Structure 1
Amino acid sequence: MFNHLFSAGRIGSMKTKNRIVMTAMGNHLANADGSVSERDIAFYRARAQGGVGLIITECALIDGARGKGNNHQISVAEDRFIPGLQQLAQEIHRYDGKVVVQIYHPGRQGISAVNGNLPMLAPSEVECQAVHQPTIAMTTAEVAAMAEQFVKAAVRVKAAGIDGVEVHGAHGYLINQFLSPYTNKRDDKYGGSFENRLRFLEEIVLGIRQHCGRDYPLLVRLSVDEFLGNANGCELGLQLADGVKIARRLEKLGVDAIDVSSGIYETMNMAWEPSSFKQGWKSYLAEAIKKAVNIPVIGVAVIRDPEYADKMIVEGKLDFAGSARQHYADPEWSNKAKAGKVGELRKCISCLHCMETLMAADLTSIPCQCGINIQSGRELEYSDFKQDGNGRIVAIIGAGPAGLEAARVLAIRKYKPIIFEKTGKAGGQLELANKPPKKDKINWLIGYLTGQVQQLGVEIRFNTAPTLSDLQALKPYAIFIAQGSEPFRPETVPGITGQEVVGAAEILSGKITVTGKKVAIIGSGMTGLETAHLLAENENEVSIFEMAATIGPGLYFQNLIDVMSHLGNLNVKLHPKHKLLQIDNGRALFEIMTNGEKKEYKFDAIVISLGTKPNAALVKEIKENFEQVYILGDALKAGRIRDAMETGFVSAYNL
């Protein structure tokens, strides 16, 4: 099955057992001094055990003084980091996997606060419009010295027994900044012409070849298109034709493979895509590079299905199928695919919880997390599923993500979970989250969770809301309450229960259909925005009202940018700083928060999306009658998918 994906591959002198690549992505697991940690070893070990042919580590820093991306990042800036890298290589080799270390410098996209509060080094003083850090142009001598630091880092990587080195020339980091006319405004030998802009990378490549030898595998990752036309209405950056030209030059310089990506921080959604991006959307980039060079091409393109990955190899679009987030979500993806267990894949839903937590990790001290795999990054903490349940019954109220995940773990531990679900379908809030346009990836998670509990023989009693006596009859060892939440409507607002007023859940569930009407959405959380998207696509004239100063307060910026782009295309009107005062016969009265002015609007329908509150039914009685009671997911506190999954996993793991 998937014979091309699981055929042996070759990059220079390195032979891989298959064509599956876990591409580089930060995890915030390294020790604070930059050495490889036990958590790092456990993280990468899980992916090697899971059958990945080639693992490319997170970008490792080559400049410990002024080149950090975060405070827990692998470093290759000094010889003292070699032993940790040796241990990492040995561990991955135990499972017939190969490992490449990616080396980089953040340049203007770094954060001054984690780099001695110094301005970030860059080709030119062009501040990144995403991170807005102080930036200083490097001198000619500093550029040459930085190239030497890259070369020395590669020498250390080879000395550690790592199978190869990847130079990170993508995603808007320092090398990419030199390559791009958008960020390189220099007038010395490192700027101006194409040849001069390539010189920094060329010196690095030639230096690595000189000091590591012609046979040492050398890869370069490129953003072959920066998509800057999407960010600022102009095309000043690298475009695909430039990427092809760079790739051809790198092949002539002796590079063994091109790892194709796209985007920079200012076009971040083209590099790390939100859920609306389809599988394979940018495979044409890798295909264009593959047609231009004779060395192997690694491609990334929201690859989630092994069948799709195999097909791209057959069609000549790429040589190696790369993904970082998919192997975050399911380290066993490769083994499952090889065994034909496609239905058991935990496919990444592109929720971007990993990116959100990674970017906040230095502030929260919480390592990068996966939204749907609680074990990712916590392999040391959650590696021992003690099978000591002895068939004891655990009653679970609710078949949403929290209840299903708890049931999965309990069944693995040999408990006997019994789920009560008041509706005729499993999924809970996921069965609303999958209804807006471009949210179909949620169905992958529903399929995974329901498939797992079915395979494990978990009993689900549909259309059943248990009474206290029903639960007592089971004599359960524990009870998990995962009955979700209910929409919140502030009763202090007159008219909020009027006939023309509906809840977002009623729209998303299809209980109420609105077409060709003038509609107001009250509240601009993600549910409100996605409900607006659905309504606008159904030919409604939609307006969103939000009491806060901006639309989408508290939402992760990548997801916000994505949904707002769709709303903009559908001409949805936005009204921040509007506090709802009352509703009367389709007329909504608001207070403008900036000046206290009152303003009235008339609508055919008004949709309330002001969040949810935990469903407290039976909680007090259950706690009074049973010793071991655990409240999970939205029943504990309304939150996101990760919150629900984590409460379910942890409660079941620790029971």
Structure 2
Amino acid sequence: AFRFAVDELKGADGMQAHAEGRGVVELLAELPDLWDVNISDWSNDSATSRFEPNEGYQTKYIEFVKQVTSKPVVAVGRFTSPDHMVSLVKRGIVDFIGAARPSIADPFLPEKIKSGRIEDIRECIGCNICVSSDNLGVPIRCTQNPTQGEEWRRGWHPEKIAPAHALEPVLVIGGGPAGLECASQLAKRGYEVTLAEASDQLGGRVAGEASLSGLAAWKRVADHRIYDLQRRANAQIFLQSSLDADDVAELGIGHIFLATGAKWRRDGVGRSHRKAIPMDGSVQVFTPEDIISGVEVPTGPVFIFDDDQIYLGGVLAHHLAEAGAPVVLATPASVVSPWCDNTLEQERIQASLLSMNVDLQVGKTLARVENGRAHLTCVYSGKGKTLEIGSVLMVSERRRETTLFEALKQRRESGDLDVKTLEIIGDAASPGLIADAVYSGHLAARNLGEDPKRAEQALFEREIISLEG
């Protein structure tokens, strides 16, 4: 087999599919047993759904290959739709479908297609958390498939889970990524599951972030789990069901998981500031939740202070600029969204924001907001800079929502609440990526009824090779 990138997406400065790329394939046409064709470099080949929202985005570059060789051809392109896959084969573009990221999200993708279980496919969302694991040199993770990387260490199977240790009811509070995954897996184990969500829709932060520019595919994280729960007779879902400690105690359910999430801070506390940033109230201060909920920002430049430095600051800047707002994005980092180097997106993010005339103030921290002006300080030189602004959007740090958990914990400790399990999961336990929240929910569901010592041991299990004789 020969893997060959027919286009480097560099124009005349690199390999082009219609020129040298085709020429090389024609020259070597019958030599390989199999042609595995794609584009390069890795950031193009494994582009995220944020910048390549359509599956099969490489097809236009590789579709000529079958015309010049009689040998089998395989291609990739983050394919998730079986209909699309079949279409490529029937149209004579490829003989085989390559599916790296889609098969990470669902290792049983081929089997589910073969058996007609299309609705059970756990579709890749193209977030590149799997790629980030490789770049960070850590065990692989997948937002959609929390068992990825835990098959040996913990013995997790993506399609199988141990049956319930006892036929007892379970209450999951919060319908975000952690709550949905926890409830779905508990129901799969056979528990009677009640899922209570305070708002009028499930999905939590996933539903909100998926409404922003470029992140629509992320909604699959919620959709897959909602569909699974809705078809299970042992799972009940209650929307607009905000519970307090009295409500929970009245239900009398012995196993309780709280996935109440986390809220973005409005005071600017984050990586660079461990105290609130001085602000005189001359402009409105918004949080990501405000923008997601559709709050209208005042006229004048929206000043985004991105001290989170992961992905959301850049997404919000793009979203607001696309809506026509003048945007300034300031960050103490030397580039925008530096963490996205790990997902192969950073350069695309910065280029796209510049193309939308977003004013990027990198390497600068926000010292204070006063009289409608943002006072910035260079993190390297200490020199100041002042900008006229219309509003502030803080993307700094999230505060865990633990009020209900603390109230229940206090009652349990005083003997006023008799429950066997009281566990906080997801962002409410530790704010992180969506993948972290899903993993947390999955882990909690797996560990219910498990010997705590065995569950803890799985964290440290390692394979040790020894020689005998």
Q: In which range does the TM-score fall when normalised by the shorter chain?
A: 0.7 to 0.9
Aligned partners of 1:274 and 1:350 also within 8 Å: yes
CA distance in 2, matches of 1:571, 1:228: 23
Aligned mates of 2:347, 2:113 — CA distance in 1: 34
- Work out whether residues 532 and 567 of structure 1, in 8 Å CA contact, stay in contact via their aligned partners in 2: yes
Aligned partner of 2:291 in structure 1 is 507
Query: Cα–Cα, structure 1 residues 352 and 472, in superposed 2: closer, same or farther, change >3 Å?
Result: same
Q: Alpha-carbon deviations, 1:233-281, whole Å to 9, x = none?
A: x61445442222222233333x2221111103xxx21111112212111
Q: Alignment partner of 2:80: what SS? A: coil
Q: How does 1:167-246 map to 2 (within 5 A)?
A: 219-229=1-11, 235-237=13-15, 239-246=17-24
Question: Larger Cα Rg: Structure 1 or Structure 2?
Answer: 1
In 1, Cα distance between equivalents of 2:433 and 2:240: 25
AA aligned to 1:415 is Y
The code of the aligned residue for 2:92 comes to G
**Are 1:612 and 2:403 counterparts?**
no
SS in structure 2 at match of 1:580: strand
What residue identity is the alignment partner of 1:643? D
Give the aligned residue type for 1:369.
Answer: R
- Partner in structure 1 of residue 322 of structure 2: 537
Counterpart amino acid of 1:632?
I
Which amino acid in 2 is paired with 1:535?
L
Q: Which residue is 2:303 aligned to? A: 520
- Out of 249, 253, 258, the residue aligned to residue 27 of structure 2 is 249
CA distance in structure 1 between the aligned counterparts of 2:185 and 2:96, rounded to whole angstroms: 33
Counterpart-to-counterpart distance in 2, 1:497 and 1:378: 49
Q: Distance in 2 between matches of 1:432 and 1:525?
A: 17
Partner of 1:327: 103
The share of aligned pairs that are identical, in percent, is 26
Offset from partner CA, 1:55-93 (integer Å, 9 cap, x none): xxxxxxxxxxxxxxxxxxxxxxxxxxxxxxxxxxxxxxx
Match of 1:288 in 2: 64
Aligned match for 2:150, one of 378, 381, 385: 378
Quote the offset at 1:566 in angstroms: 1.8
Answer yes or no: is 1:269 the counterpart of 2:55: no
* Pairing partner for 2:179 from 377, 383, 403: 403
Unaligned runs of 5+ in 1: 1-218
What is the Cα deviation at residue 338 of structure 1? 3.2
In the TM superposition, 1:549-628 aligns within 5 A as: 549-557=334-342, 558-624=344-410, 625=412, 626-628=419-421
Cα distance between partner residues in 2 of 1:595 and 1:325: 43
Partner of 1:88: none
Residue 463 (structure 1) aligned to one of 199, 221, 240: 240
Kept in 2: contact 1:372–1:641 (CA 8 A): no
Amino acid at match of 2:108: E
Q: How many residues align?
A: 424
The match for 2:443 is 650
Partner secondary structure for residue 365 of structure 2: strand
Q: Distance in 2 between matches of 1:462 and 1:534?
A: 28
C-alpha distance in 1 between matches for 2:103 and 2:277: 47
1:260 matched to 2:37? The reply is: yes
Residues 348-397 of structure 1: CA deviation (Å, up to 9, x unaligned): 11111111112333xxxx42222221112322311362212443111111
SS in structure 2 of the partner of residue 594 of structure 1? coil
Task: Summarize the Cα distance change of 1:412–1:389 in structure 2 as closer, same or farther, 3 Å threshold.
Answer: farther
Equivalence for 1:41 = none
Cα deviation, residue 618, structure 1: 1.4
Choose from 217, 226, 242 the match for 1:441: 217
Partner of 2:141: 369
| Aligned residues of 1:391 and 1:414 also touching (Cα < 8 A) | yes
2:250 pairs with one of 473, 489, 494: 473
Query: How far is the alpha carbon of 1:476 from its aligned partner?
Result: 2.0
Task: Tell whether the 8 Å contact from 2:7 to 2:14 is kept in structure 1 after alignment.
Answer: no
CA separation of 1:588 and 1:630: change in aligned 2, threshold 3 A: same
Equivalent of residue 494 in structure 1, options 274, 278, 285:
278
Distance 1:646 1:494 in 2: 37
> 1:618 is paired with a residue of what secondary structure?
helix
Name the SS of the counterpart of 1:495 in structure 2: coil
Determine which of 256, 259, 262 is the counterpart of 1:482.
Answer: 259
Question: What is the rounded CA distance, in whole Å, between the counterparts of 1:421 and 1:650 in structure 2?
Answer: 20
Letter of the 2:264 counterpart: P
Aligned equivalents of 1:477, 1:497: Cα separation in 2: 47
Secondary structure of the residue aligned to 2:74 is strand
Quick check: 1:385–1:413 contact (8 Å CA) kept in 2? yes
Which residue number corresponds to residue 84 of structure 2?
A: 308
Matched, 1:423 2:199: yes
Q: Which amino acid in structure 2 is aligned with residue 247 of structure 1?
A: V
Q: Secondary structure at the match of 1:405?
A: helix
Partner Cα distance (1:497, 1:526) in 2: 27
User: Match for residue 450 of structure 1?
Assistant: 226
CA deviations on 1:205-241 (whole Å, 9 max, x unpaired) are: xxxxxxxxxxxxxx21111112234xxxx61445442
CA contact (8 A) 1:402 1:482 kept: yes
Distance in 1 between the 2:281 and 2:170 partners? 38
1:298 maps onto 2:91 in alignment: no
Q: Give the 3 Å change call, closer, same or farther, for CA 517–538 of structure 1 in structure 2.
A: farther
- Does structure 2 conserve the Cα–Cα contact (< 8 Å) formed by 1:482 and 1:631? yes
Distance 1:370 1:467, change over 3 A: same
Aligned equivalents of 1:496 and 1:326: distance in 2? Answer: 49
CA distance in 2, matches of 1:464, 1:489: 26
**Distance in 2 between residues matched to 1:527 and 1:373, nearest whole Å:** 22
Displacement of 1:496: 6.8
State the secondary structure of the residue aligned to 2:78: coil
* Cα deviation, residue 517, structure 1: 4.0
In structure 1, what residue type is equivalent to 2:329? I
Q: Deviations over 1:177-200 (max 9, x none)?
A: xxxxxxxxxxxxxxxxxxxxxxxx
Amino acid of the residue matched to residue 114 of structure 2?
K
Match of 1:154 in 2: none
